[in-house]
């Protein structure tokens, strides 16, 4: 659906794709989750309201944004989720939804089927109930997640399964990948841990060491090939804020979900002003430094 030639024709700075953290509320308490620290009533009450999200979404559409990814927390935990989702799809966005799957019922699956998304990504952190619920800390969550996968596949919806590799589930990762392949759906493995939004470092206690990551990669040809490619090809300079951007649950416009050092308040200002005037000024340690001029002014020592 995305044409590379069209992308290349866009200006260098263009609001192409938005990752929108529409809530930090969630029905689970995953051990590595970096947003769970704000999964509290006092924080939830400060999140964007339905009218505020719809207004900002309309500003994104007017600015030409093409993709919106709803993430959380758990997006489906918002009572107004389908008000937001339906508005996004009917406004012409390609919509991706990140979900833990446990709130997907027959009715929810039918709503998605009526207005299909670009993609639904479900976090599957274990292939056994014991491992899955050790991660989610939610009794019964494994069965609900597996039911969601079945319901969405029965309706032919575009589905991708993903796993965060951790010390507590590394023994099941290859089985999860094979399960996705057997279902004929996409699969994505993530290995990076982030500090909690309040600065806490609890998620890092579950991170794999470099040696453990290496051992995991060697167990699968595709993972090993990608790991080798990353070692050979130097990472490209960060392009966040150029065509991609992030909005948090409180209306903060940021470079990306991993860089919230500075925000522009969309409750007080317009998206166009925030994206074009303020976002380019936000600091990012991973962005390329501007090239030095070929001709340098020289001091006269005569």
Burial class, 132, CB count within 10 angstroms (exposed 0-12 / middle 13-18 / buried 19+): buried
How confident is the prediction for the chain on average, in pLDDT? 92
The CA–CA distances, whole Å, from 249 to 1, 89, 122 equal 28, 20, 20
Mean pLDDT, rounded, for 10-35:
96
When the candidates are 3.40.190.10, 3.90.1720.10, 3.40.50.720, 3.20.20.70, the CATH number that belongs to 11-281 is 3.20.20.70
pLDDT reading at 295 higher than 70: no
Nearest of 90, 16, 94, 7 to residue 54 by alpha carbon: 90
Confidence category of residue 238, pLDDT binned at 50, 70, 90:
confident
Q: The pTM is what?
A: 0.91
Mean pLDDT, rounded, for 9-25:
94
pLDDT reading at 205 higher than 50: yes
pLDDT reading at 4 higher than 60: no
pLDDT in tens, 101-122: 999 999 999 999 999 999 999 9
Percent of the chain whose pLDDT exceeds 70: 92
The pLDDT of residue 70? 98
pLDDT in tens, 165-196: 999 999 999 999 999 999 999 999 998 899 99
pLDDT reading at 197 higher than 50: yes
The pLDDT of residue 148? 98
Mean pLDDT, rounded, for 236-248:
92
The pLDDT of residue 291? 47
HSE of 193 in the Cβ direction (CA atoms, 13 Å)? Answer: 22
Top pLDDT among 291 and 180 is at: 180
Tokens of 109: 């699956």
């Amino acid at each position: 659906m995305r044409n590379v030639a069209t992308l290349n024709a866009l200006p260098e700075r263009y609001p192409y794709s938005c990752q929108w953290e529409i809530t930090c509320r969630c029905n689970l308490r995953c051990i590595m989750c970096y947003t769970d620290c704000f999964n509290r009533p006092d924080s939830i009450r400060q999140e964007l309201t339905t009218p505020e999200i719809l207004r900002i979404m309309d500003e994104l559409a007017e600015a030409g944004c093409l993709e919106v990814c709803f993430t959380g927390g758990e997006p489906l935990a918002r009572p107004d989720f389908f008000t937001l989702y339906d508005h996004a799809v009917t406004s012409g966005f390609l919509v991706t939804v990140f979900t833990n799957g446990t709130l997907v019922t027959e009715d929810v699956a039918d709503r998605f089927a009526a207005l299909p998304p670009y993609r639904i990504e479900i976090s599957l952190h274990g292939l056994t109930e014991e491992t899955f619920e050790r991660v989610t800390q939610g009794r019964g969550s494994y069965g609900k997640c597996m039911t969601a996968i079945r319901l969405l596949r029965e309706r032919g919806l575009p589905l991708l399964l993903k796993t965060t590799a951790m010390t507590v589930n590394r023994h099941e990762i290859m089985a999860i990948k094979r399960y996705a392949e057997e279902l004929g759906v996409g699969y994505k493995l993530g290995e990076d841990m982030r500090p909690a939004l309040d600065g806490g470092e609890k998620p890092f206690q579950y991170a794999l060491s470099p040696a453990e990551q290496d051992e995991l990669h060697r167990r699968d040809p595709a993972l090993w090939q990608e790991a080798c490619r990353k070692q050979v090809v130097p990472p490209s300079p960060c392009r966040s804020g150029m065509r991609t951007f992030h909005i948090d649950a409180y209306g903060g416009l940021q470079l990306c979900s991993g860089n919230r050092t500075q925000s522009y308040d969309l409750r007080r200002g317009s998206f166009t002003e925030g994206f074009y005037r303020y976002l380019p000024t936000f600091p990012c340690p991973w962005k390329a430094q501007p090239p030095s001029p070929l001709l340098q002014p020289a001091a006269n020592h005569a």
